[in-house]
Amino acid sequence: MIIVLTGIDGSGKSTAARSLVQAVRARGGKALLLSNHAGRRTMSIMAAACGVRIPGRLADAVESAVRTANVLVSHLRASRFDGLVVMDRHLHCQLGLRSAKGLPRGRFLPWLLAALPRPAAVVHLDLDPAEAHRRITARGTDAETLADLVAFRDGYAALPGFGAFIRVDASLPAAELARRLMQAVDGLPATLPHSAPGTSGEPSVTNGN
């Protein structure tokens, strides 16, 4: 079973993914964490250091290539693992970024998303962009403007399959957030058909939150 975590920068995807894996293992289950990063933080740091802003299309081209490679490797590893696979980010994230930047969705990423094995659920960590900006500023490892975070939030909301995502309040205390994530996993069926959520026009998971 594959669970994908999405959310704007600062929503705590990586921390939540680690917590979910640890919780499953603590119950005696098998869980594997796979990260599908695109190098955005590295590029952001380099651009800030050089005092430049990378053009949107160039940034998307690099990020899409890196993320696609990571996603393909992750799915290969997932196919060989018998247990819960938690993916920190996926192609949904790149499509959300494209929408945020005013770029077209293109054909390849939507096609690949539909062709890959369908996750049991896409869990979206909802967080107010202002709080996400505060967190990013506090950690001091990268830089995102509040306007960019608002656009990213709206970019996710514009995805065709967003209504099927399970949305969880990312402002919750860590322990409560981990409990909500476990509840989401426990409520999922063991197997699902082969296609990505939202790509066929049918919702994959009913969001009862």
Distance (Å, rounded) from C-alpha 153 to C-alpha 29?
Answer: 33
Which string of b and e fits 62-85 if b means at least 16 CB within 10 Å? bbbebbbebbeebbeebeeeeebb
d(CA 67, CA 164): 22
Q: How many domains does the chain have?
A: 1
Question: Domain range holding 160?
Answer: 2-186
In a domain, 67, yes or no: yes
In a domain, 206, yes or no: no
Contacts of residue 124, defined as CB under 8 A and 6 or more positions apart, other chains included, come to 5, 6, 7, 156, 162, 165, 166, 167, 168
CATH number at residue 157: 3.40.50.300
Would residue 137 count as lying in a domain?
yes
Is 198 inside any structural domain?
no
Query: Is residue 155 one of the residues assigned to a domain?
Result: yes
Residue 14 maps to a domain: yes
Over residues 58-92, the pLDDT tens digits come to 888 989 999 999 999 999 999 999 999 999 999 99
Interatomic CA distance for residues 38 and 6, integer angstroms: 13
Q: State the Cα–Cα distance between residues 155 and 37, nearest whole angstrom.
A: 18
Tokens, residue 72? 């393909």
Whether residue 193 lies inside any domain: the answer is no
- Please report whether residue 208 resides in a domain: no
The 10s digit of each residue's pLDDT in 134-174 is: 999 998 777 789 999 999 999 999 999 999 999 999 999 98
